[in-house]
Structure 1
Amino acid sequence: MALAGQQQAQNPTSTTSNTTPSAEFVFPKSYHFPPFFSPQPTALTRQAQLKKWSVFIQRYCQHHRIFQIQLIDVLDSPLFHNSTLKKRLSLKDAKAVIDYMVSKDGDERAEWLGPEKSAAWIWWRKPEEWANVIANWVDETGQKGTVLTLYELVQGETTEKQDFYAMDMDVLRKCLGTLVKKGKAQVFGTDDQQGVKFF
């Protein structure tokens, strides 16, 4: 679902945080050259192009704290459309970029949300990387043995200055799943009233 008005242009997805970016996003130099928006003909230049797109998408999503994109919604956003150049990625080319990000060559920096490939997680931090951030916070604040609701973890006063504050709940569950597998956490309760205990 697209967001309305200016917010849609800046945060083109329904899974963003409520935090406001501290500065305007700086687009990479390649974004201002028309060839960036057209698939390059040789394998070597295409690989380099896909890598640049991956880095750009990760940085853009990190700046705006976007965790998930709906491709149909973002095609007209600054992420895939340079209105000054009047150049954009087609849906096919956008899917090719995300396919690259999903692959091992793309360092698995994205994950499709289904076989139809209409939406994807963008891992500017992978779930295991987020899990490490949360685990470090647990250690630093003496939260081991404490039970917190998932809401408290990402919306509580004690986490307001943390990078995981206002995190998408589905991303949080993936991160906590990583900690559960390592024996560092236990998640319990129903979906809307889930809690977590750290070890």
Structure 2
Amino acid sequence: MSYTYPKVWSFPPFFTKQPNKETYDTQVNEWIKIIHEYCKSCKVWKITRECPVFTNTAIRRQLETSFIEEIFRELERRGGGSIVSDGVYIWWYTLEEWSSRVYEWVEDNGQKGVMMTVFELEGQFDGMPYDMMEKVLKRLEKQGKVTTVVERDEIVGVKF
């Protein structure tokens, strides 16, 4: 899968943290939008500071690590990402939206009342990493929509 970057990605100053608060806020919003679109389009679940989205070789620009980390923190603050030790899980949809999508899939595919493994669910959602699926399932569990089977602190099975 490929992603077509927006025009702003080819604008050299876009790769430099802007000092003006208003311009900075707009810049961060654009970066978050690009990250979400890129990850959704390319089915990327986790990014690091080395992600190709942060480098434009055609204009010889790369975002500074400290600015990337600011963007990661803002992504997490907005609920669009979850920082982990080796990068950031990207939520193309919000946790609530993913929870709804998983539950809709269960209903649409006649899986209510059926015991399933987490692995089976992950495969239905473009290989969503376990850590992200776990958050979705815990959300659904809080809503009373799923019962989980836990072994050694990991969800191994679910029943909707």
TM-score (norm 2): 0.91
Distance (Å, rounded) in 1 between the aligned partners of 2:91 and 2:122: 18
SS of structure 2 residue aligned to 1:125 = coil
State the match for 1:28 in structure 2.
6
Distance (Å, rounded) in 1 between the aligned partners of 2:57 and 2:126: 32
Kindly indicate whether the alpha-carbon contact (under 8 Å) linking 1:102 and 1:111 is maintained by their aligned counterparts in 2: yes
Distance (Å, rounded) in 1 between the aligned partners of 2:149 and 2:11: 50
Q: Which amino acid aligns with 1:194?
A: V
Q: Give yes or no for the alignment of 1:83 onto 2:51.
A: no
Structure 1 residues 101, 154: CA separation in 2 closer, same or farther (over 3 Å shift)? closer
State the match for 1:171 in structure 2.
132
State the match for 2:159 in structure 1.
197
Q: Which amino acid aligns with 2:142?
A: K
Runs of at least 4 residues off by over 2 Å:
189-193
Kindly indicate whether the alpha-carbon contact (under 8 Å) linking 2:43 and 2:126 is maintained by their aligned counterparts in 1: no
Pairwise CA distance, 1:68: 1.7
Q: For 2:87, which of 91, 108, 119 is the aligned residue?
A: 119
Where structure 2 has 5 or more consecutive residues not aligned to the other structure, the ranges are none
Q: For 2:34, which of 56, 73, 78 is the aligned residue?
A: 56
Aligned-pair Cα RMSD in Å: 1.7
Q: How does 1:69-148 map to 2 (within 5 A)?
A: 69-71=47-49, 74=50, 77-103=51-77, 107-113=78-84, 119-148=87-116
Identity of paired residues, percent? Answer: 30
Of Structure 1 and Structure 2, the greater helix share is in 2
Pairwise CA distance, 1:189: 3.7
Pairwise CA distance, 1:193: 7.6
Q: Give yes or no for the alignment of 1:184 onto 2:145.
A: yes
SS of structure 1 residue aligned to 2:52 = coil
TM-score (norm 1): 0.74
Distance (Å, rounded) in 1 between the aligned partners of 2:87 and 2:114: 35
SS of structure 2 residue aligned to 1:94 = helix
Pairwise CA distance, 1:45: 0.7
State the match for 2:20 in structure 1.
42
SS of structure 2 residue aligned to 1:194 = strand
Kindly indicate whether the alpha-carbon contact (under 8 Å) linking 2:45 and 2:90 is maintained by their aligned counterparts in 1: yes
Where structure 1 has 5 or more consecutive residues not aligned to the other structure, the ranges are 1-20
Structure 1 residues 193, 182: CA separation in 2 closer, same or farther (over 3 Å shift)? closer
Distance (Å, rounded) in 2 between the aligned partners of 1:133 and 1:91: 34
Q: Give yes or no for the alignment of 1:151 onto 2:119.
A: yes
